[in-house]
Amino acid sequence: MDDKKIIFSGIQPTGCITLGNYLGALKNWVSLQHDYHCCFSVVDMHSITVRQDPVALRKRCMEFLAQYLACGIDGEENLVFFQSHVPAHAELAWVLNCNVYMGELSRMTQFKDKSAKHENNINAGLFTYPVLMAADILLYKTDLVPVGSDQKQHLELARDVAIRFNNLYGETFTVPEPFIPKEGARVMSLQDPTSKMSKSDPNVNGFISILDKPEDIARKFKRAVTDSESEVAYREGKDGVNNLLSIYASVTGKTVDEAVAEFAGCGYGVFKERVGEAVAEELRPIRERYEDLMKNKDYLETVYRTGAEKARGITARTMSKVYRKVGFVNR
């Protein structure tokens, strides 16, 4: 083995992949992929914590996989697979469930948000969701987890569980670190810049799908909610403008200060148009590659089958170690 460190990350196949998912997670996966051994999973088991239509879910899972690749993830160099194809995720989640406290899980803000949103289906899976996520990460001896800032709390829990398990049973898991980008870690809704851009937002004008056409992107940015002033500046109280500046900085690789300087003296109309153009430019090749990839089902199948096969090998070794540590009889 070389001394490359290990990355694990995933996105759940719900709604469509947004500019938030892209800037918070995917774009960084792409830039880190050659310097680490990477596992990028479509975490389908997480997605059933909210009710899914089975036919739509199966189709969406393939579309998500194709979008990972279309963004520039190399499906041969990295392990790209569906979480449900690797049974160890569920197996380790069970063992970790027995080492996590109800109190810890009750504090998770995502659980509180999601149970408020889905009050007719507050199932046990929604509650233990972060434990499955910890299993995803710990199975691969992951060093680094590139995610948006909303996942920081879940990652903290994964670290706590790893440390607790190691203290109880002896050195078993690597304690992972989050990788949260400087810009783009929390892209806000274009319609309500005080709440996170979310793929399950019923208002399509609030989010940009990475597959949106340039004219739709332009329209959504044109309608983006800003404020009643007219100065493009980054400061408290200007949530809408701040969000557009961060998006622009993240897409172009510039700093927010450089972006502010660039738009000095511009009206909001021109500013929104330019941000929209920069985003459309970034996403255009992704949409084109996606269309090609979706025509090539055999290739997609090769990627996810080989990914899962390798992942099963790695995770089986972790599981036999874990089962031995907790005191189960050897198979």
Task: Please tell me the distance from the alpha carbon of residue 208 to that of residue 145, in angstroms, as a whole number.
Answer: 24
213 in active site:
no
* The CA-based dihedral angle spanning residues 63, 18, 181, 233, taken in that order and rounded to the nearest 10 degrees: 160
46 binds ligand LTN (CB under 6 A): yes
Task: Please tell me the distance from the alpha carbon of residue 303 to that of residue 123, in angstroms, as a whole number.
Answer: 33
27 in active site:
no
- CB-based contact 207:190 (threshold 8 Å): yes
114 in active site:
yes
Q: Which does 136 bind (CB under 5 to 8 A by kind): ligand LTN, ligand ATP, none?
A: ligand LTN
- CB-based contact 47:10 (threshold 8 Å): no
196 binds ligand LTN (CB under 6 A): no
Task: Please tell me the distance from the alpha carbon of residue 125 to that of residue 67, in angstroms, as a whole number.
Answer: 26
Q: In the sheet that 144-146 helps form, which strands lie side by side, from edge to edge?
A: 79-82, 36-42, 5-11, 144-146, 177-179
Rg over CA atoms, the chain: 21
In angstroms, give the least distance from the CB of 172 to ligand ATP: 25
Which of 8, 22, 111, 207 contacts ligand LTN by CB under 6 A? 8
Q: Which does 36 bind (CB under 5 to 8 A by kind): ligand ATP, ligand LTN, none?
A: none
In angstroms, give the least distance from the CB of 29 to ligand ATP: 9
Task: Please tell me the distance from the alpha carbon of residue 172 to that of residue 178, in angstroms, as a whole number.
Answer: 19
Binding mask 112-141 for ligand LTN (x = CB under 6 A): ---------------------x--xx----
In angstroms, give the least distance from the CB of 186 to ligand LTN: 12
Tell me whether residue 12 or residue 226 sits nearer to ligand LTN (CB atom): 12
- CB-based contact 66:293 (threshold 8 Å): yes
145 binds ligand LTN (CB under 6 A): yes
In angstroms, give the least distance from the CB of 251 to ligand ATP: 13
33 binds ligand LTN (CB under 6 A): no
Tell me whether residue 105 or residue 266 sits nearer to ligand ATP (CB atom): 105
In angstroms, give the least distance from the CB of 295 to ligand LTN: 28
Catalytic residue among 5, 141, 152, 199: 199
Catalytic residue among 27, 114, 220, 272: 114
Q: Which does 39 bind (CB under 5 to 8 A by kind): ligand ATP, ligand LTN, none?
A: none
Residue 171, exposed/middle/buried by CB under 10 A (0-12, 13-18, 19+)?
exposed
Q: Which does 47 bind (CB under 5 to 8 A by kind): ligand ATP, ligand LTN, none?
A: none
Tell me whether residue 21 or residue 246 sits nearer to ligand LTN (CB atom): 21
Residues marked as catalytic: 114, 196, 199
